[in-house]
């Protein structure tokens, strides 16, 4: 059995990733998939054991191939705007694990200085655009980041904006994509279609068979792919990036996956009531990590022992960052009133 995925473009067969990527890349991808898995497990565990006492943990189990596959082909100067099930993307794009954990624990040295929680952070120096809880809003904000690049003559910098299938029902998603398409901005909207927006199933959010069909309304390409297949995600992103970089405008990449966990850690019980358990169990069998490992073995380049499950050092790396965050100082109460206004321009009394 081979999970090697080939794609047809203009009748030509493209080569599988393992024929284009170095063996070291394949290993790095494998490690990143495991990083994402262990990151999720560590935070669920911390919440369960009371080491993390505030905020929700938004699970990403089963969505790892999307995070890794959409970021691996990016250039260092590209932009991303990750959402709540993409926490490892912050690390893949240059934040330290310590910074991310300080954010989760609401610490003074977190990117938001403890002001906001979880994924609502960014760093424009790293090309990470801050998102909000209103997921669709960021699609429109992305247009502005790209407009700034246009003004600077940098039309080939791509922005990958993540969103959920539910957020494609919002107005800003439409206004943002419409604007991007009219002005041919290099925006790639990755729709993590995990089939549930909290408890609402995709068919109550989207009237078409796929989310990607929304692209028809903007006259842009829309892909609907297996989001649990790393190679499918990676290959599609390579195509989408080439399209956007060449000045052809935005692309929708719908990654079909499944939210194995609840909406957040508080939702684990109810999430097994508002969804059929058999459905959850079916998707657990489509695990992206298992599939990628099988793919690597099928290439003939790897021995079983080269692909430990999980790689030994990653859990320890995450634990070290958690310990760092727990022991790092809380923000001083008075700092709650800082950073509301920036008066450095000196034009206000």
Does residue 76 bind another protein (CB under 8 A)? Answer: no
Does residue 175 bind another protein (CB under 8 A)? Answer: yes
Shortest distance, CB of residue 112 to another protein, whole angstroms?
5
Shortest distance, CB of residue 286 to another protein, whole angstroms?
35
E strand or H helix that includes residue 256: strand 251-256
Does residue 318 bind another protein (CB under 8 A)? Answer: no
The piece of 57-65, 176-184, 249-257, 318-326 that touches another protein (CB under 8 A) is 176-184
Residue 41 CA to residue 190 CA, distance in Å, equals 24
If the CB atoms of residues 7 and 150 are measured against another protein, the closer one turns out to be 150
Give the Å distances, CA to CA, from 79 to 122, 143, 162: 11, 11, 11
Shortest distance, CB of residue 159 to another protein, whole angstroms?
9
100-139: which residues touch another protein (CB under 8 A)? Answer: 110-113, 115-116, 120-124, 129-130, 132-134, 137
Q: Which of 55, 144, 310, 311 binds another protein (CB under 8 A)?
A: 144
Q: Which of 87, 146, 237, 252 binds another protein (CB under 8 A)?
A: 146
The piece of 36-44, 145-153, 233-241, 248-256 that touches another protein (CB under 8 A) is 145-153
CB atoms within 10 A of CB 337: 7
Q: Return all residues near 230 (Cβ < 8 A) that are at least 6 apart.
A: 29, 33, 65, 68, 69, 288, 291, 292, 295
Q: Which of 6, 96, 171, 266 binds another protein (CB under 8 A)?
A: 171
- Residues 178, 215: contact at Cβ < 8 Å? no
What distance lies between CA 255 and its chain's CA centroid? 11
Give the Å distances, CA to CA, from 135 to 33, 142, 257, 279: 24, 12, 18, 26
CB atoms within 10 A of CB 342: 7
Which residues bind to another protein, rule: CB under 8 A? Answer: 110-113, 115-116, 120-124, 129-130, 132-134, 137, 140-151, 171-172, 175-176, 178-179, 182, 338-345, 347-349
């Amino acid at each position: 059995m081979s999970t090697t995925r080939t794609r047809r473009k203009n009748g030509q067969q493209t080569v599988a990733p393992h024929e284009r990527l170095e063996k070291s890349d394949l290993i790095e991808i494998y490690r990143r998939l495991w990083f994402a898995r262990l990151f999720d497990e560590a935070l669920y565990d911390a919440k369960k054991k009371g080491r993390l006492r505030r905020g929700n943990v938004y699970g990403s189990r089963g969505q790892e191939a999307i995070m890794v596959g959409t970021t691996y082909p990016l250039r260092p100067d590209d932009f991303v705007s990750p959402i709540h099930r993409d926490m490892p993307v912050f690390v893949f794009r240059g934040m330290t694990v310590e910074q991310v954990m300080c954010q989760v624990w609401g610490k003074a040295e977190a990117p938001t200085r403890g002001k906001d929680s979880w994924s609502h952070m960014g760093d424009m120096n790293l090309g990470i655009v801050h998102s909000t809880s209103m997921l669709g809003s960021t699609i429109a904000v992305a247009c502005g980041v790209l407009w700034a690049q246009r003004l600077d003559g940098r039309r080939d910098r791509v922005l990958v904006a993540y969103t959920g299938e539910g957020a494609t029902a919002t107005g800003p998603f439409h206004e943002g994509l419409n604007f991007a398409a009219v002005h041919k901005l290099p925006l790639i909207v990755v729709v993590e279609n995990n089939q549930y927006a909290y408890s609402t199933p995709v068919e109550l959010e989207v009237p078409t068979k796929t989310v990607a069909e929304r692209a028809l309304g903007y006259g842009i390409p829309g892909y609907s792919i297996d989001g649990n297949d790393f190679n499918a995600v990676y290959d599609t992103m390579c195509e989408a990036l080439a399209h956007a970089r060449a000045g052809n405008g935005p692309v929708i990449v719908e990654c079909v996956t499944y939210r194995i966990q609840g909406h957040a850690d508080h939702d684990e019980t109810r999430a097994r009531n508002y969804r059929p358990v058999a459905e959850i169990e079916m998707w657990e069998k489509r695990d992206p990590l298992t599939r990628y490992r099988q793919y690597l073995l099928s290439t003939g380049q790897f021995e079983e022992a080269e692909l430990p499950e999980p790689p030994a050092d990653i859990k320890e790396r995450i634990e070290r960052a958690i310990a760092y965050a727990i022991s790092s100082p809380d923000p001083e109460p008075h700092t709650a009133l800082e950073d509301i206004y920036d008066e450095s321009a000196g034009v206000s009394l």
